Amino acid sequence: MPEGHSVHRITRQFERNFVGHVVHVSSPQGRFAEGAADLDGRRVVEARAVGKQMFLGFEGDRWLRVHLGMYGAWDFAGDIRMDATIASANGRMGQTNQRGTFLDAENPDAVVFDSAGENSITSIGAPRRARLRMSESEKAGAELESFPPEPVGQVRVRLLTDTVCADLRGPTACEVLDPAQVEAVVAKLGPDPLLDPGAASEERFTGVVRRKPTPIGLLLMDQNVVAGIGNVYRAELLFRARLNPHTPGKLVPEEVVRGLWRDWAKLLAIGVETGQMMTMDDLGPEAYRAAMASRDDRHWVYKREGLPCRVCGTNIVLEEMGARKLYWCPRCQA
Ligand SMILES: [Zn+2]
Alpha carbons 131 and 57: distance in angstroms, whole number: 24
CA of 244 to the centre of ligand 1 (A): 11
Q: pLDDT for 189-212, tens place per residue?
A: 999 999 988 899 999 999 999 999
Are 111 and 119 within 8 A, CB to CB? yes
Ion ligand 1 neighbours (CB, 5 A) are 309, 311-312, 314, 329, 331-332
Q: pLDDT for 83-137, tens place per residue?
A: 655 544 443 322 333 332 233 333 333 334 444 434 433 333 335 577 888 888 8
Question: Per CATH, which fold does 192-328 belong to?
Answer: Helicase, Ruva Protein; domain 3 (1.10.8)
Q: Where in the chain do CATH 3.20.190.10 domains reside? A: 4-86+121-184
Give residue 133's pLDDT.
86
Are 44 and 185 within 8 A, CB to CB? no
Question: How many residues are recorded in the chain?
Answer: 334
Give me the helix-helix angle, 231-240 and 254-274, nearest 10°. Answer: 130
Give residue 90's pLDDT.
43
Q: What pLDDT band is residue 294 in, cutting at 50, 70 and 90? A: confident
Q: pLDDT for 297-316, tens place per residue?
A: 899 999 999 999 999 999 99
CA of 292 to the centre of ligand 1 (A): 22
Give residue 96's pLDDT.
30
CA of 230 to the centre of ligand 1 (A): 22
Which of 124, 43, 136, 102 is closest to 287 using CA atoms?
102
Q: pLDDT for 246-270, tens place per residue?
A: 999 999 999 999 999 999 999 999 9
Q: pLDDT for 63-85, tens place per residue?
A: 999 999 989 999 999 988 876 55
Q: pLDDT for 51-64, tens place per residue?
A: 999 999 999 999 99
Q: Which CATH class is domain 4-86+121-184?
A: alpha beta
CA of 312 to the centre of ligand 1 (A): 4
How distant, in Å, are the alpha carbons of 95, 107, 125, 271 from that of 103? 8, 8, 16, 16
CA of 326 to the centre of ligand 1 (A): 15
The CA-CA-CA angle for residues 201, 204, 208, to 5°, reads 145
| Percentage with pLDDT > 70 across the chain | 86
Selected residue with higher pLDDT from 133 and 48 = 48
Give residue 246's pLDDT.
98
Average pLDDT over residues 266-285: 91
Alpha carbons 92 and 49: distance in angstroms, whole number: 25
Residue 85: partners with Cβ closer than 8 Å, 6 or more residues away: 9, 12, 272, 273
Alpha carbons 327 and 319: distance in angstroms, whole number: 7
Predicted TM-score (pTM) of the model is 0.85
CA of 88 to the centre of ligand 1 (A): 35
214 pLDDT exceeds 60?
Answer: yes
Selected residue with higher pLDDT from 20 and 115 = 20
Alpha carbons 301 and 309: distance in angstroms, whole number: 7
CA of 255 to the centre of ligand 1 (A): 21
CA of 232 to the centre of ligand 1 (A): 17
Which of 77, 60, 65 is closest to 11 using CA atoms?
65
